[in-house]
Structure 1
Amino acid sequence: MKTINTGSATYEGLGKSGKGHVSTGSGALAAQPYGFMTRFEDEPGTNPEELIAAAHASCFTMALSFKLAEAGHENGTVVTKAEVTLEKDDGGFTVTKSALSTKGTVPGMDQATFEKLAGEAKEGCPISKLLDTQITLETSFEG
C-alpha cells in the first residue's frame, strides 16, 4: 500500500519582509500564515518546526495506540508532546532534535510494558524514520 499526502507553501516577498502561507492537501490547514515573524517573534501563525512537532507527535501517538491494541488493550488514552529544536550554527540553522514526551492511561497495563511498547512505536513511527532519511528535490524556474 502506498499513500501520498501533500502540503504546499507560498512565500511572497523575500527574506524577513516576506510573508507566507502553508496549506495541507486535505484542507485541514488552509493558507495558515507563516514567516520570519511567526518563526522567531510573536506574530500569530505557524512555522515549519511547529508543523514537524505536530506531525511527529501525532504519528508516534497513533503508532503507540496500535501497539497497545495489538497487545490486547481496547481502552485508553495516549497524549504526546513533541519539542522540535531549531539551533543557529555556522551554516545557518539546523533542526537538531525532536524530543517526544508521552503519557498513557491504559487500564490493566503496567509502566514497564507501556515503556516497552512506546519504544517499539518510536522505532516504527514513519515520521521518526523520516527524520533520519534523505530528501529528494526537483525544481523548475521561470525568469
Structure 2
Amino acid sequence: MNWTLEVVLVPVSDVDKAKDFYADKVGFNVDHDINGFDGKRIVQLTPPGSGCSIVIGEGLTEMAPGSLKGLQLVVNDVRAARARLAERGVEVSEVQVVSPTGARPAREDDDLDNVGFIHFTDPDGNAWAVQQITSRP
C-alpha cells in the first residue's frame, strides 16, 4: 500500500497576498480558488513537478499564520532556484552547505548534491527550505 502526501495546509492571514506570493513570486501553479461553502475559501497551489500541493484559505485551520516551519522543496539546481526566486522578488538566503557539523556559505566549487540549501519565508513567516538533490542512493 502506498501512502502519499498530497496536501499541506499553510496558515496565512491574507489569502490574496499569500496566493500572489506563492503563484507570482515562488512560481506555484494555482489549481483552484473556491469561495462560498460554509464561509470558507480554499486556494490550492502546486509547485511545478510536485505531487504534493499546499492549501491556503479562510476558516480552514486553528494554526496561527506563520507558525508552519520546516516545509521543504527539492530542486536539481539550488543556485538556479535561488536566482529565480531572487529575480521574482523573494527574500531568499544565500546558498548554504549543511552538514552534521553545521551550515556554512557555499563555495563556487562545492558539490551541492544533497547538502545545498536555501531558505525563504512567506509574507506571514511560514518557513521553507529548498534542497538540491540531483541523485538519490
Higher strand share: 2
Task: Tell me which of the two structures has the higher relative contact order, counting C-alpha pairs closer than 8 angstroms and 6 or more residues apart.
Answer: 2
Q: How does the TM-score come out when normalised to structure 2?
A: 0.30
Higher helix share: 1
Larger Rg: 1
Q: How does the TM-score come out when normalised to structure 1?
A: 0.29
